[in-house]
Structure 1
Amino acid sequence: MKAVDARGFFSSANALEFEDYLLLDYVFECQGDPELAAAHLCSEQSTAQWKRVNVSEDYRPRFAAKVLSLDTQACPSGFSSPVVELGDGEVYRCKVRIAHPHANFGPRLPNLLSAVLGEGAFFAPGIPLIKLLDIQFPDSFLSAFQGPRFGIQGLRERLQVENRPIFFGVIKPNIGLPPEPFAELGYQAWTGGLDIAKDDEMLADVQWSPLAERARLLGAARMRAEQETGVPKIYLANITDELDRLIDLHDTAVAAGAGAVMLNAWPMGLSAARMLSAYTKVPMVAHFPVIAGMSRLPFFGVHTRVMTKLQRLAGFDVIIMPGFGARMMTPAAEVQACIDACLDPTFGNIKPSLPVPGGSDSAATLEAVYNLVGSADFGFVPGRGVFSHPQGPAAGARSLHQAWAAISAGVPMAEAAKDRPELKAALETFG
């Protein structure tokens, strides 16, 4: 690409109508001229060859992605990760903001991903390392999406839960139990105060625990727990599977008593989730397999904030994400960025999704998570913290309510635990 041609992939902000563009923030490492690399990045994800040979035309004004800003710094030690040898030349790390005309792909998630995370981004000449950090969507694009059917408030209304986190629990062992003992564990946790008992993301429609039978028994256990406690409960069924089974598994689980369904969002695909969101009459929950494999390196892949925004667009009412603490190997600022992406009130008319930052949680970690989130609009999802509580799942669930009561009253957790044996055992076991 000649230098004079490269300038056709640059623009100023005041020269564009932003309702026509997505704003993309990337960080990349390149060898050679950063401006030329940025122009290649825009070209490869939009027009590529922008005119026919020997024809006087230029498709860039209408179709080209354009660089709005480019900040560069030299990297004397070379690329941050080993890459295919590119030859000699100084290495630069660049942050670039690109305006991409969304008419190129329309309000279609597979086509959007193909443009901004496809060949054009990851095989742009001279750029072996690149990471998509953020996407900003104009209202003209967001208006084509329904987003979450229920959102946070709809889920709260179903559960009759206000002014506190929603308490999930991952029934454990995650894939090792047949339906009967699995349902009994769910029942015990519900009677102790758990709002939502859920399948683990690893538990599918398997021989030792068929979804139809599991959902039937969990549905019956849920109804029994509701009658005894007088408050609504939800069984969250994992229906992740091949696409051609998705609707049948959904119908089977919901008819048997599942009050919500869970998809492993990226293995299933966002388009599948968007289709199911338009079909289902129960809340839809996302889990995060594959996400770490796409996001963990600092200068390669895609930031989890982008994935969260796209899951919200696809219609997930609840988004489970890697949470705080060393166990999940995700920086606190990144977790917070995903929470903010769930709750952002400027996301067109799309309802907020309930953020559920998860990973080795229990009553012992509830206060820290609440302080980091900064509000009660989150889901809290212990596994062992409920189902490995030394006094049993009902006590594990009660310990969550006891911890929240202490937080709400401003009472130190250790002080509150003195006359609450379930909380005391949770702090001693998991603290």
Structure 2
Amino acid sequence: MERLTAHYLVETPLPPEEAAATIAGEQSSGTFVAVPGETAGLKARFAARVESIAPLETVSVPSIPTGRAHASAHRRARVAVSWPLENFGFNLPALVSTLQGNLYELAQCSGLKLLDIDVPASFAAHFRGPRFGIDGSRALAGVADRPLIGTIIKPSIGLSPAQTAGMVAGLAGAGIDFIKDDELMADPPHSPFDERVDAVMRVINAHADRAGRKPMYAFNISDEFDAMRRHYDKIVSAGGACAMISLNSVGLAAAKKVCDLGALAIHGHRNGWGMLNRHPLLGIEFPAYQKLWRLAGVDQLHVNGIANKFWEPDDSVVRSIASCLAPLHNLPRVLPVVSSGQWGGQAPETWRRTRTVDLLYLAGGGIQAHPDGPAAGVRSLQTWWRAAAEGLTFAQAVAHYPELAKSVEKFGQKK
């Protein structure tokens, strides 16, 4: 039987070998005391196995409380644990329960973070993965050799369907590739979902008739599943191409069910990510996180951005982008969505650090608050990325493309 391996960062007041054995036992056949039926044969077939332990530093203060008396030393280590695939089958929620489950409750650990997952080819082959991914998203947006440039409708809430459609008309006319609802905008009384879809798609379809190109609009369908399905079908019938899901709000099972429908590209928003990742010794790292959602079939996934408005360091953002673009057996790659306080000026550094244009580059205020209006904001981002892909530094880009000075005056000092 093939095995799936998870990699953890562990902090423990115990010898790391003892903590690792506790992790393996808690998440497979073990409990705190021997029980009838827990035979040697059963353990040999189903027990988790500690594959490796790499000791790291020792600290004097625990990262998180253990509920036990404070020890004078807490040892850190990288620990790899494997499970036979038959423990959870091809069941993503059961897999997550296995990989994380009660682990964060263990008093034997004063810190624990899931870093990555090694998925066997036979397991990945059971899942279709992203229906559209990078190539399909490019085809839908009609963009071949540069990042997709997108924006978020702002204000986040308060606009009527007609007001939203008016903004979309201006952005479509400026040549934008992608527009999305904010995660706070779902199906509120001031902008009912069906009315918003009708108003927005009238504008987008009319633009496509004139220009021969249809920007993608990601309507936020996050809701209870029956409502999500109705909203999904509404987008399809209106000629839309994309639906957005707040992944951490709806969960793996609901998201996979939507992805399996296969008619729309699925834009995965990770709002709530800080709750899962911000503590250095608790939660999950993005390489493991994106594999779960890629298996579920999400096509586009948020990764934050260089010099973002949140807490996440640039190195973490760069690793996240790389993990989306890395192979995962037969599954298509997921399109990294760069966002959070972005404007064109971050493009040169984003290119320098990642060397890729396989990105969906979102700027809300960075487009809509441009001094010359949203249309100029779209053109500005396109020019910044042209300069970045040409290898120009920030200063060289402004010198070579003088029109970029306006965006620097508006946004540069904020960064």
After TM superposition, the score normalised by the length of structure 2 is: 0.93
User: Partners of 1:55 and 1:163 in 2: how far apart?
Assistant: 58
Counterpart in the other structure of 1:9: none
User: Which SS does the other structure have where 2:51 is aligned?
Assistant: strand
Distance 1:42 1:425 in 2: 57
Do residues 426 (structure 1) and 407 (structure 2) align? yes
Distance in 2 (CA, whole Å) between partners of 1:200 and 1:55 is: 50
Query: Would you say the 8 A contact 2:243–2:266 is kept in 1?
Result: yes
Counterpart position of 1:118: 101
Q: Does 1:22 align with 2:4?
A: yes
Residue 374 (1) aligns with residue 359 (2): no
How far the C-alpha of 1:410 sits from its partner, in A, is 4.7
- Post-superposition shift, 1:291? 1.5
For 1:40 and 1:389, the matched residues in 2 are separated by 55
* 1:392 to 1:48, Cα distance in 2 relative to 1, 3 A: same
Deviation at 1:285, TM superposition (A): 0.7
Q: Distance in 2 between matches of 1:415 and 1:72?
A: 50
Counterpart selection for 2:205 from 192, 211, 223:
223
Find the partner of 2:398 among 411, 414, 420: 414
Q: 1:278 aligns with which of 260, 265, 268?
A: 260
User: 1:73 offset after TM fit, Å?
Assistant: 4.3
- Aligned residue type for 1:66: R
In structure 2, C-alpha distance between the alignment counterparts of 1:262 and 1:42, rounded to whole Å: 36
User: Which runs of structure 2 are paired with 1:310-329 in the superposition (5 Å)?
Assistant: 310-329=292-311
The separation in 2 between residues aligned to 1:54 and 1:31, in whole angstroms, is 31
1:330 aligns with 2:321: no
The code of the aligned residue for 1:60 comes to: K
8 Å Cα contact 1:43/1:64 also seen in 2: yes
CA deviations over 1:262-287 (Å, ceiling 9, x no partner):
00111111111111111130111100
RMSD: 2.0
Partner of 2:76: 93
Other structure's SS at 2:214 match: coil
Once residues 233 and 326 of structure 1 are traced to their aligned partners in structure 2, the CA distance between those partners, rounded to angstroms, is 25
Matches of 1:47 and 1:127 in 2, distance apart?
Answer: 19
Which residue number corresponds to residue 230 of structure 2?
248
Aligned equivalents of 1:424 and 1:73: distance in 2? Answer: 48
The answer to whether 1:177 aligns with 2:159 is yes
| Kept in 2: contact 1:386–1:396 (CA 8 A) | yes
**In structure 2, which of residues 87, 90, 110 is the aligned counterpart of residue 104 of structure 1?**
87
Displacement, 1:388? 1.5
1-structure distance, mates of 2:409, 2:208: 30
Q: Is it true that 1:204 corresponds to 2:179 in the alignment?
A: no
Distance in structure 2 (CA, Å) of the matches to 1:367 and 1:138: 37
Q: Secondary structure at the match of 1:327?
A: coil
TM-superposition CA deviations, 1:284-317 (whole Å, max 9, x none): 1100112110111111111122111111111011
1:191 aligns with 2:177: no
1:390 aligns with 2:374: no
Could you tell me which residue of structure 1 aligns to residue 240 of structure 2? 258
In structure 2, how many angstroms separate the alpha carbons of the residues matched to 1:125 and 1:404?
A: 49
Distance in structure 2 (CA, Å) of the matches to 1:211 and 1:76: 52
Partners in 2 of 1:344 and 1:410 — Cα distance?
A: 23
| 2:387 counterpart of 1:403 | no
Alpha-carbon distance in 2 for matches of 1:217, 1:137:
43
Following superposition, the deviation at residue 85 of structure 1 comes to 3.0
- State which of 196, 214, 217 in structure 2 corresponds to 1:214: 196
Match of 2:62 in 1: 79
Q: Residues 86, 126 of structure 1: CA spacing in aligned structure 2 closer, same or farther, 3 A cutoff?
A: farther
What does residue 66 of structure 1 align with?
A: 49
Amino acid at match of 2:251: G
State the identity %.
Answer: 32
The alpha-carbon distance between structure 1 residues 128 and 223, as it changes in their structure 2 partners (threshold 3 A), is same
Decide whether the 8 Å contact of 1:305 with 1:334 is kept in 2. no
Deviation, structure 1 residue 54:
8.6
CA contact (8 A) 1:288 1:322 kept: no
Could you tell me which runs of 5 or more consecutive residues in structure 2 were left unpaired when the two chains were aligned. none
AA in 2 matched with 1:361: Q
Residues 171, 198 of structure 1: 8 Å contact kept: yes
2:116 is paired with a residue whose SS is strand
Shift of 1:260: 0.3
Change (3 A) 1:54 1:200: closer
Which structure 1 residue ranges, 5 or more long, are not aligned? 1-16
TM-score by length of 1: 0.89
Q: Is the contact made by 1:168 and 1:379 (CA closer than 8 Å) also made in structure 2? A: yes
Counterpart AA for 2:311? M
